[in-house]
Chain A
């Protein structure tokens, strides 16, 4: 079965420091991986995706993610955190196991990022 894990409920980082939000996955076949961010009282916003190709994926708002096949990880990173990056972050994997390949995303439990001034 496809699954994705975010081992940290919360990550705290000082503004200006680099940040990492961790994600590991378990899939059969090729992984299709996504990061979404949710600000308070809002829906989810797409940050970036890995489908194939370069292991370093660049996304919105200065975020990037590194795909590591041997470690089955897809960690989200940013070189210099901003207070405005404080939000709830979800890693997701596309579920390709069913007979229909329509749009089923499996989300991790989410990681709250707190960036302090």
Chain B
């Protein structure tokens, strides 16, 4: 299994809702990532987990809350989002800790719309 699986594929939520995005991989990878991508723009790193510990938080607003319950699973909890948070949210993984020569494996993303 060489896939990173993200659910749901599409999500529409109001600004007062609470929702979660889920990401799963069964490749034995120990680093997992959340990226945000606007249309036709490069992905922007949000969070990195390395060996289930949060190693990078790119000054992301607290309305985004990541969670890594185990080495295969990564969640992104969403609360009180703004319309400008509408984007494609990509999960990725890499074998160890994302050091210099590791490639990332990306999921297909969750397209989020905030109304």
Contacts and interface: CB of A to CB of B under 8 A. Distances in A.
Contacts of B50: 102-103
Interface string A103-117: 111011110100000
- Which of A42, A88, A103 has the largest number of chain B CB atoms within 10 A? A103
Interface residues of B, number: 30
A107 B104 CA distance: 13
B108 A41 contact: yes
Nearest to A112: B40
A51 B101 contact: yes
Interface stretch (A14-22, A63-71, A72-80, A93-101): A93-101
Nearest to B98: A103
Nearest to A49: B103
B40 A32 contact: no
Contacts of B6: 43
A25 interface: no
Interface of B: 4, 6, 31, 33, 40-43, 45, 48, 50, 55-56, 90, 92, 94, 97-109, 111
